Amino acid sequence: MAATDIARQVGEGCRTVPLAGHVGFDSLPDQLVNKSVSQGFCFNILCVGETGLGKSTLMDTLFNTKFEGEPATHTQPGVQLRSNTYDLQESNVGLKLTIVSTVGFGDQINKEDSYKPIVEFIDAQFEAYLQEELKIRRVLHTYHDSRIHVCLYFIAPTGHSLKSLDLVTMKKLDSKVNIIPIIAKADAISKSELTKFKIKITSELVSNGVQIYQFPTDDESVAEINGTMNENEAHCDFVKLREMLIRVNMEDLREQTHTRHYELYRRCKLEEMGFKDTDPDSKPFSLQETYEAKRNEFLGELQKKEEEMRQMFVQRVKEKEAELKEAEKELHEKFDRLKKLHQDEKKKLEDKKKSLDDEVNAFKQRKTAAELLQSQGSQAGGSQTLKRDKEKKNFF
């Protein structure tokens, strides 16, 4: 109801009900706290460092819990990321803690690409969250956020300088995750050497443009402790690490992950997909127009690919038909050659058979003539024998 209407009604003699002095929206922080406590919290830690630097021991000590895990060896063929999630409870606050370890990091002879599995894992968590955001029916309030909130980078206490592996890895990760470098097993070197080592590390990080997590100092309640930690970012003892990581800045690490690192990934990903905030004329870009443009572009590419596939299919069919015709021609030629060869062989056999028949007939004729001559000779011989016998008889 407008103020003029209220005034008019008052002027007409309507009774007014004065508001109480306390409205009640100052209870919003309490409402947020109650809602957050009922939903619970999640926190995801990525531990990067060579085997044997005490990463698992530090996690157990930080959260005063013995986390189960398989011991890592130095014989891994490549870097593998192992993720374990635990449900922790402190007072009435629940925390779903995920610890991701880099098994085999720095153990290979060729360490050039050791950072790639880590980068791919972080991007995969961003991509999973983005896909959930892009769904028509989103359930982000129950979605298990697996994005990495902080990377504890363990540095070997060499006392000299950072290894090239450490510099390259942190440089590849600083735009994707909040990095907090930690000097592992710092009690292995003297305090003077440790001080020099911290100065050397800080100098190398700055000179190589590696961006590490800066603890916020805009809040008066945490400005003093975070200011001190920013001066000693390359190393902190256990008590200070727990203080600034869990008790003071856990929510800021979660917020930085979402508003800085995830937003950078999301923006780059959407730009790759063709989405923009403004058109070339600096006017607001319609999501519907973007969708229609991408859809038309996709359909055009699809039709182009279909036409290319059709042309390729037609070409392959033609090539296959040509191959079949060539094979058929070769078969016909081979058949004709075999047919001619058969006819030639048949003619040779017929000629040979005729020659054999002629020889047989000639042989039979000679045989008949010989038998006739033999018969005639036998008859003549018998007549002469009778004549001689008769002559002998007459003689005696």
Tens-digit pLDDT profile for residues 82-124: 999 999 999 889 999 999 999 888 877 777 788 999 999 999 9
Contact between residue 81 and residue 103 where contact means Cβ atoms under 8 Å apart: yes
Contact, 186 vs 157, CB < 8 A? yes
Query: Last residue of a domain, which of 227, 254, 277?
Result: 277
In 3D space, the residue among 88, 85, 42 whose CA is nearest the CA of residue 65 turns out to be 88
Q: Which of 277, 311, 333 is the last residue of a domain?
A: 277
Same-domain status, 187 and 298: no
List the Cα angle 325/327/329 in 5-degree steps.
70
Statement to judge: residues 63 and 154 lie in one domain? yes
Rounded Cα distance, 165 and 162, in Å: 8
Collect the ranges in the chain with pLDDT lower than 50: 1-3, 7, 233-235
49 in the same domain as 129 = yes
Q: What is the spatial order of strands in the sheet that 179-183 belongs to?
A: 80-90, 93-103, 41-48, 150-155, 179-183
H helical segments located in 103-245 = 116-133, 164-173, 191-207, 220-231, 238-242
Q: How much is the pLDDT for 46?
A: 96
- State the amino acid at position 390 in one-letter form: K
pLDDT at 134: 84
For the chain, what is the domain count?
2
> Does residue 23 sit within a domain?
no
* DSSP code for 284: B
Q: What is the DSSP letter of 16?
A: P
* pLDDT for 234: 47
Task: Confirm whether 202 is domain-assigned.
Answer: yes
Q: What is the pLDDT of residues 153-203, one digit of tens each?
A: 999 887 777 888 999 999 999 999 999 998 887 777 778 888 888 888 989
The domain in which residue 291 lies consists of 286-363
Q: What is the pLDDT of residue 184?
A: 84
Give CA–CA dist 333/339, Å, rounded: 10
Q: Confirm whether 19 is domain-assigned.
A: no
Give the strand pairing for 150-155 and 93-103: unpaired
| Three-class SS state of 17 | coil
Residues 244 and 313 grouped into a single domain: no
93 torsion bin: left (phi>0), alpha (psi -120 to 50), beta (else): beta
Q: What is the pTM of this model?
A: 0.66
Cβ atoms of 33 and 86 within 8 Å: the answer is no
Tokens encoding 139: 């359930």
Q: Indicate if 178 and 305 belong to the same structural domain.
A: no
Boundary of a domain, candidates 277, 312, 344: 277
Distance (Å, rounded) from C-alpha 163 to C-alpha 302?
49
Same domain, 260 and 291: no
Count helices and strands (H / E) in the chain. 11, 5
If phi over 0 gives left and psi between -120 and 50 gives alpha, with beta otherwise, what is residue 84? beta
Look at residue 162 in the predicted model and tell me its pLDDT. 86
Per-residue confidence (pLDDT) for residue 233, from 0 to 100:
47
